[in-house]
C-alpha cells in the first residue's frame, strides 16, 4: 500500500544543481541581417571571377599540358577543383545570414551554426572600429562546457543586440 500523501501535481519541481542558465530576450523578438558586409561580398565575388578568368586564360594558352582541349582540362583538374571550392565558399559568403531570436543566435554558413542562450558562459564582440565596412565584427561565444562558436555580424541592429547580449551575460555570470 502506498502511503504517499503528495499527488504528482503538488510535488515541487527539482532544480538542477550547478550554474544557472542565462536568459536573454532580444528586442525585437527576432532580428536578422547579413553576416558579411557588401564590400567584403563584392571583393569575394571579384576574387572568384578574377581567378576564373585567370584559370580560363591559362587553359587557352595551353599551360596545362600544352593542350587547349579536354586533355588540358583534365591536366587542370586540381586547379578546377580548387576554384570550385573557392566559388562554393564565396556563395556562402553572399548568402550567409545571422539571426537572434528567443532560442539563441544562429548563422547560416557552409555548416549552419547555432548557440542557445541558456548554455552561454561567455560572449565577446570582436571588432576593428573604422574597418567594419570591410571586416565583419565577430561575436565569440563559449558555453559552460567549453564549446565555442564565432558569428559574423554586419547588420547594425543585430550588432547592437550582440553588444547588449555580451554585456548582460557578463553581468549575469559575475553574480
> Has residue 2 been placed in a domain?
no
**pLDDT bracket for residue 73 (50, 70, 90):** confident
pLDDT at position 16 over 90 = no
Range of the domain at 53: 31-173
Q: Judge whether 47 lies within some domain.
A: yes
The CB-side HSE value for 94 (13 A sphere, CA atoms) comes to 13
- Residue 6 falls inside a structural domain: no
- Cell representation of residue 165: 547580449
Q: Which range is least confidently modeled, 35-39, 58-62, 125-129?
A: 58-62
Residue 19 lies in a domain: no
The pLDDT score that the predictor gives to residue 108 is 96
Q: Which residue has the cell 578546377?
A: 80
pTM, 2 dp: 0.79
Q: Which helix (H) or strand (E) holds 44?
A: helix 38-60
Total number of domains in the chain: 1
| Contact between residue 112 and residue 97 where contact means Cβ atoms under 8 Å apart | no
Q: Is residue 53 part of a domain?
A: yes
Would you state the pLDDT for residue 104?
94
**Domain-embedded: residue 162:** yes
CATH number (domain holding residue 153) = 2.30.29.30
Establish if 13 belongs to a structural domain: no
Q: Any residues with CB less than 8 A from the CB of 165 and at least 6 apart, and which?
A: 24, 26, 100, 105, 117, 123, 139
User: What is the average per-residue pLDDT within 162-173?
Assistant: 93
In a domain, 26, yes or no: no
Q: Which helix (H) or strand (E) holds 97?
A: strand 97-101
Does residue 12 register a pLDDT over 60?
Answer: no
How many angstroms separate the CA atoms of 79 and 86, rounded? 10
Residue 11 scores a pLDDT above 60: no
Amino acid at each position: 500500500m502506498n502511503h504517499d500523501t503528495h499527488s504528482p501535481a503538488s510535488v515541487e519541481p527539482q532544480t538542477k544543481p550547478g550554474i544557472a542558465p542565462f536568459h536573454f530576450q532580444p528586442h525585437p523578438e527576432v532580428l536578422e541581417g547579413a553576416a558579411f558586409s557588401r564590400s567584403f561580398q563584392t571583393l569575394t565575388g571579384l576574387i572568384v571571377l578574377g581567378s576564373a578568368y585567370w584559370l580560363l586564360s591559362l587553359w587557352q594558352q595551353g599551360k596545362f599540358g600544352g593542350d587547349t582541349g579536354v586533355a588540358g582540362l583534365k591536366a587542370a583538374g586540381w586547379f578546377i577543383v580548387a576554384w570550385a571550392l573557392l566559388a562554393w565558399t564565396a556563395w556562402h559568403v553572399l548568402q550567409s545570414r545571422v539571426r537572434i531570436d528567443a532560442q539563441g543566435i544562429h548563422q547560416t554558413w557552409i555548416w549552419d551554426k547555432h548557440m542557445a542562450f541558456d548554455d552561454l558562459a561567455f560572449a565577446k564582440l570582436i571588432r576593428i572600429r573604422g574597418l567594419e565596412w570591410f571586416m565583419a565584427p565577430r561575436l565569440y561565444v563559449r558555453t559552460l562546457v567549453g564549446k565555442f562558436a564565432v558569428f559574423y555580424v554586419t547588420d547594425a541592429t543585430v550588432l547592437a543586440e550582440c553588444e547588449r547580449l555580451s554585456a548582460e551575460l557578463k553581468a549575469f555570470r559575475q553574480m
